Amino acid sequence: MKLVLIADTHVPKRARDLPAAVWTAVEDADVVLHAGDWVDEAFLDRLESRCVRLVGVYGNNDGPGLRARLPEVADVELDGLRVAVVHETGPATGREQRCEARFPGRDLLVFGHSHIPWDTVTPGGLRLLNPGSPTDRRRQPFATFMTADVVRGALTGIGLHRVVR
């Protein structure tokens, strides 16, 4: 199962659209996980129409329309992998301990908010992934997104991709 992980797209406020490479990855994926800050319902509609399956949550910049359509936390099982998606996890300091306590029984937590890519594993084995942002790099050298594979409950082939415009 091919996954694409994105967050903090902010379309159309910070970018008019997703970069072509991200759209290509989305259309090739089995599941797209979006960790919030969409900003516009029309963008949610477009992403839904171009992917096989979408799992998304709302972020702090998402208004009432998006909050009515998306949960704060999404829980899914993907080929045996127990996944949670959320926008905010708080400060980097203590993140692993907080997330392990808040999301017990999960194998993977996908989050956003900071626009900073993140990849760690808690002592209990919870993998934390933040794909950064494909449209608003903030203080990062590149805009980014992630891809990964799920094979019989195992997360493999995690890739952080630089977005070139």
Residue 96's domain is classified under what CATH number? 3.60.21.10
Q: Write down the pLDDT at residue 15.
A: 87
Q: Structural domain tally of the chain?
A: 1
Q: Which tokens sit at 54?
A: 């979408």
- Mean pLDDT over 31-46 rounds to 97
Q: Residue 139: helix, strand or coil by DSSP?
A: coil
Range of the domain at 145: 2-163
| The residue type at 17 | D
Q: Determine if the peptide bond prior to 12 is cis (ω within 30°).
A: yes
* Predicted confidence (pLDDT) at residue 62 exceeds the cutoff of 80: yes
- Mean pLDDT over 22-49 rounds to 97
Q: Which residue do the tokens 């992917």 mark?
A: 51
* Predicted confidence (pLDDT) at residue 33 exceeds the cutoff of 80: yes
- Mean pLDDT over 95-115 rounds to 97
Residue 138's pLDDT band, with cuts at 50, 70 and 90, is confident
Query: Are the C-beta atoms of residues 160 and 144 closer than 8 Å to each other?
Result: yes
Least confident of 26-30, 126-130, 137-141: 137-141
The Cα 66–Cα 47 span in angstroms is 13
Q: Which tokens sit at 150?
A: 């799920």
Q: Which tokens sit at 80?
A: 């045996």
* Predicted confidence (pLDDT) at residue 139 exceeds the cutoff of 90: no
* Predicted confidence (pLDDT) at residue 68 exceeds the cutoff of 90: yes
- Mean pLDDT over 115-126 rounds to 97
